[in-house]
Amino acid sequence: MKAGDKARQASRRAVSRIRNFSFVSLRDLLVASGPTIILVTAAIVAAYLLVDPAPPRQVRLATGQENSAYEAFGAQYAKALQKDEIRVTLLPTFGSQDNLERLRRGEADIAFVQSGSTAEAQANKLGLESLGSLFTEPVWLFLREGVKTSSLTGLRGLRINLGPEGTGVPNLFRQVLAVNGVEPDELTISALGNTPATVELLAGRIDGLVFSSAPEAPLIQMLLQTPGIRLFNFSQAEAYTRRLPFLTHVTLPRGIVDLGRDIPAQDYHLIAPTATLVAREDLHPALIDLFVKAAGEIHGGAGWFQQQGQFPSPKFTEIPVADEAAKYYRDGPPFLQRYMRFWLANLFERLWVVVVALAALVIPLSKIVPPLYVWRVRSRVYRWYGELRAVEQAWEAVLEDQREIVRNDLLKRLDEIEEQVNHVSVPLAYADGLYGLRGHINIVRQRLQATSMAGGSLPE
């Protein structure tokens, strides 16, 4: 063998010896801490997945009829949440009652609902929560120019469209008729959708139609400017709000539609419920934050019937407000979401659960790992003390006349023990135990040898 090869082998052996006598035994450390690592990892995974799951990336929003304000606002919510990679699936419906039914059946996660469509007890029974009121929805009663009545009692015998039963309008307007002493069967009521009802009104085949919608609805904008169509003035609006508490009194100012053409040519008093964003109680809290945030961006400005910042609001709703939404209205957006993207902020907000789970396990287990590690390292040395004690006991059990024969066997066994101990590797911090064992082997050997010189007895 070449000198260079011998040198390399010697170098490898030296490196191996150094590794065997390192300050820390990585193998023993891993074995001692292995159960702790597994338990902590399992706790982290369980906390991350089960305690507070990540919000879904898709949500179903029930809106309303074609060309309604609900449909228009639904598109704005979809656009707003798309910025945070949440896909909003818009579900066209007949309106509030249809939306409540879809929420009940689990076909929608969140929906627009008109105040007065349900009661608190019923909402609790259905597992529904409010995310706040969004805007007022005036009751728009459009009549043909030839209908001159200024009182709802004058509607008797007329053909009035209230819309499909799935909307909130039929139930709402029946209550309005009731406080005027007018029974529904005294009118010829139809249930056409908004667009076909508008066509019928313009064609003169019905005398009037009722909407309950924000003024942004395209059909409202069109009818306010259509010749031959007039808006009914609820001159007793304040009285209606006393009789029906879910209604508010709003005023459509003169010229608000078109100042140049003076449309409308007078102030109109209207009665108005409010539109509410209603969700199932199992909607993820993070999505509640996103929808309330979007509501502030979409509905927070000044409008025909509202002041800057009046909406969205936790008021004006008979459905209990979700705790997460109430917290948002009170304190603003979550701290991290003010400075981070939604998903990153949500991740950090969920990590506190993981930190708690980690601390709950790491603190007690950290007190177990060091003693376990020490025991594993020292056990390599301590197990040979058992062999050493066996040699002494074997000597003490031997009869006097047989000791000369047995002594040589026991000395040979001591040599074997010492040879194996010489191959035991422990970290340098525990080398004192190894050297102590080797010294004790030598002591036992000397005692065995000394009995021969001392007449055959093992000195104490």
Q: For residue range 194-250, list pLDDT tens digits in order.
A: 899 999 999 999 999 999 888 888 899 999 999 999 999 999 999 999 999 889 999
- Does any domain span residue 357? no
Residues 316 and 241 in one domain: no
Contact of 142 with 264, CB cutoff 8 Å: no
- Does any domain span residue 46? no
Residues 250 and 144 in one domain: yes
Residues 213 and 175 in one domain: yes
Half-sphere exposure of 455 (CA within 13 A, CB side): 1
Residues 161 and 261 in one domain: yes
Look up the domain containing 174 and give its range: 139-272
Number of domains making up the chain: 3
- pTM of the predicted model as reported, rounded to 2 decimal places: 0.64
- Does any domain span residue 358? no
Residues 155 and 219 in one domain: yes
Of 247, 272, 297, the one marking the end of a domain is 272
pLDDT tens-digit readout, 144-156: 999 989 999 999 9
pLDDT of residue 246: 85
The CATH number covering residue 310 comes to: 3.40.190.10
pLDDT tens-digit readout, 407-426: 888 888 888 888 888 888 77
Report CA-CA distances (Å) from 347 to 39, 59, 335, 352, 358: 22, 19, 13, 9, 16
Contact of 299 with 80, CB cutoff 8 Å: no
Half-sphere exposure of 201 (CA within 13 A, CB side): 35
Residues 189 and 66 in one domain: no
Contact of 284 with 57, CB cutoff 8 Å: no
- Does any domain span residue 352? no
- Does any domain span residue 88? yes
pLDDT tens-digit readout, 109-119: 999 999 888 88
Q: How many CB atoms lie within 10 A of CB 337?
A: 20
Which of 18-27, 229-238, 260-269, 273-282 has the weakest average pLDDT? 18-27
* Rg of the Cα atoms in the chain: 43
Residues 80 and 124 in one domain: yes
CA 230 to chain centre: 49
Residues 225 and 313 in one domain: no
Residues 264 and 323 in one domain: no
Residues 303 and 263 in one domain: no
Residues 256 and 163 in one domain: yes
Which of 1-5, 125-129, 360-364 has the weakest average pLDDT? 1-5
